[in-house]
Amino acid sequence: MARAYPKLRPHSGQRVASVGNVFMHAGHVASAASRSTTVETAALASSSRSSFQWASRALRAASRFSGRVTRRRRGAHPVSQSSGATTRASISAASRTSASSCRYDASPCAITASSIWSPSSVGASASPVLTSFSSVMRHILRKFDRSSASTLATFARGAVVAGLLAVVTEAQQVVRFDFGAKARKTQDAWNNVHQAVTAGVLVRDAIDAERRRTSLDLRQVDGWSGINVDGCVKGGPWPGSATRDSFYVGDHDDRRAVLWLEDLTPGAKVDLLLYGSRIGAPGDRVTVFRVGKARLRLDAQDNVSRRARIAKAVADSRGRIEIVVEAPKPGGLAYLGVLEVRGTFQDAATHRAPAESVHGPPHTTARTWAIADGRTGHILHEHFGHAPREMASTTKIMTAWIALDLADRKPGLLDGVVTVSAVADRTGGSTAGVRTGERLPLKELLFGLLLPSGNDAAVAIAEYLGPRLPISGSGVTPVARFVDEMNRRARVLGLKQTLYLDPHGYSKNRTCAVDLLKLTWTAMQNSTFRSYVATRTRKVSIVTPSGRRREAHWTNTNRLLAIDGYDGVKTGVTRTAGSCLVSSGRRADRHLLVAVLGATSTPARDVDTRNLFRWAWRQ
């Protein structure tokens, strides 16, 4: 039940008491507002309009005295004349905010806590302002009502309560994300994420705990291995539907996932709470969370209530915070079930992206891209160029380069005959159409690798060359040994974001646009490689298991080769990687290399690439 307040009486000396009552009312309203967004109470409706008007006039009159009073003050907080001017302005602003922000009519008065006395009204010199108020109000009390000894205390107490509660009620927003199975969504103001391997924006305009839609977006840059449903069922810090399932990463050699929080105010600080749980399974479940320079460990094994907290994570100049989740040891698994973000976010309805510039590179559908000088390999421009992404069949640049590099060292290797195995024949994805038991020279099979982007050709080449490579890792099969060599060469070249799991890219091989251009520039130094990737069509003769010959016709998937000036190098596309393309282009005496990763379609990646070439050639 609403508390009954006395009417404000705007007569004689009690007008001063009215000022105190106004702020006492503000204090009570602010206290209630801390429990609800808007308070409607009939108590203020009984107060006369003139009381509010008089309160406003009294505070403005106080501002005229404040400079004089503060200059006369002596004690612990001396205030200069300039401070007095600031105080007068602050008091005047406070009077306008306090009186005019109260919507007064015959109906109940609706007041929000932030409109009563906001910190911006008081200003930075809050202590001198309140002290000056005391001095000014003593003067007013002596002038109007010397007997009202308690009025000053009433005024000051109400004002301070209103101001402090206005600060308290301007609380941080809380946005929660639940990572897990689609069938186990968490209801009631949670943002559910169930695309474990999909790259791109997973949640747009996330809702906060009050169901307000914010500008905050969640983007997945590097996906996960899968979804775990054996986490904490009850007793955790959040509902069981949120803590029971989670995303995990750690299959094979891929031990890292990357998320971005986007559309924050540049420089904004937020607090992060991260949680993961795996109940009942033995093994290493230590999870490492990295945000900026912060690095925290959380053991998800049989975890019920442990959480990792990262305080004051700062958004970069693009309004983005990167969260890296990784398993620190080979064979370990890392988990993320809940992400809680606390901060102040813009409203989705009013948030607008910065105005588009008429300068700079073109907009692209590609998630990341980079441009390099074809003569030196130096990176000229990039957009999220170091962000890790799946690379799809651009993997085959490394596969072909290793084969040709070995051939340079071992004359006659390209003339060796490769027999296609059943394993190669059954490889999924794009294909060169070679079948079990068929035979053809390595130099011809490389066309099947690079033109139609044959995954079957990639496996056949790895099986053929693997036994000729030294054992440098854990690989025991020819293909595993070849993949070890791919990763070894990536390390030698300094490709820090690159990881190979297969020789063709149909799984989750990852790289970044900058790494991919470093590799491509190195491969393009080989004249035989340049000849292969510039070939548009090829007809080859294949010997069948019965000894008969058949012809195969292969066409390059790189459509830019049909345009004068483009001379390579490799395409790639999978559902999770999007459309990828590494290209070489020449105009006059300029040679550029362009890599785009994660475009929305094959035509889009071609348009993205051509626009980037046109822009870069003009720089």
User: What is the enclosing helix (H) or strand (E) of 127?
Assistant: helix 126-144
| Torsion sign (Cα): 608, 614, 617, 619 | negative
Q: How far apart are CA 79 and CA 72, in angstroms?
A: 9
Q: Where are the beta strands (DSSP E) in 14-114?
A: 38-41, 109-112
Q: Which residues, other chains included, contact 226 with Cβ-Cβ below 8 Å and sequence gap of 6+?
A: 196, 197, 247, 248, 251
Can you tell me the mean pLDDT for 314-333? 90
pLDDT at res. 74: 42
Q: Are 388 and 512 in contact (CB under 8 A)?
A: yes
| Catalytic option among 225, 453, 507, 579 | 453
Domain of residue 579: give its range: 368-618
Write out pLDDT tens, residues 391-409: 999 999 999 999 999 999 9
What percentage of the chain has pLDDT greater than the value 90? 55
| Catalytic option among 47, 98, 393, 507 | 393
Same domain, 475 and 558: yes
What percentage of the chain has pLDDT greater than the value 70? 70
pLDDT over 90 at 41, yes or no: no
Same domain, 339 and 408: no
Catalytic residue status for 393 = yes
pLDDT at res. 131: 45
Higher pLDDT, 77 or 510: 510
Same domain, 506 and 597: yes
Q: Which residues, other chains included, contact 149 with Cβ-Cβ below 8 Å and sequence gap of 6+?
A: none
| DSSP string across 252-274 | TT--EEEEEEESPPTT-EEEEEE
Average pLDDT, the chain: 78
Q: Pairing between strand 321-326 and 368-373?
A: unpaired
Higher pLDDT, 59 or 353: 353
Same domain, 273 and 296: yes
What is the number of structural domains in the chain?
3
pLDDT over 60 at 105, yes or no: no
pLDDT over 90 at 45, yes or no: no
Catalytic residue status for 453 = yes
Same domain, 480 and 587: yes
pLDDT at res. 323: 95
pLDDT at res. 135: 53
Can you tell me the mean pLDDT for 485-500? 94
Same domain, 141 and 201: no
| Catalytic option among 98, 121, 396, 579 | 396
Same domain, 184 and 83: no
* Owner of token pair 């074809």: 374
Structural domain contains residue 356: no
Can you tell me the mean pLDDT for 454-472? 91
State the CATH number of the domain containing residue 412: 3.40.710.10
Q: How many CB atoms lie within 10 A of CB 364?
A: 20
Residue 167 region by backbone torsions, left for phi larger than 0, else alpha for psi between -120 and 50, else beta: alpha
pLDDT at res. 254: 67
Q: How far apart are CA 523 and CA 254, in angstroms?
A: 25
Amino acid making up residue 473 = G
Can you tell me the mean pLDDT for 169-187? 85
Same domain, 445 and 331: no
Structural domain contains residue 3: no
pLDDT at res. 223: 77
Structural domain contains residue 486: yes
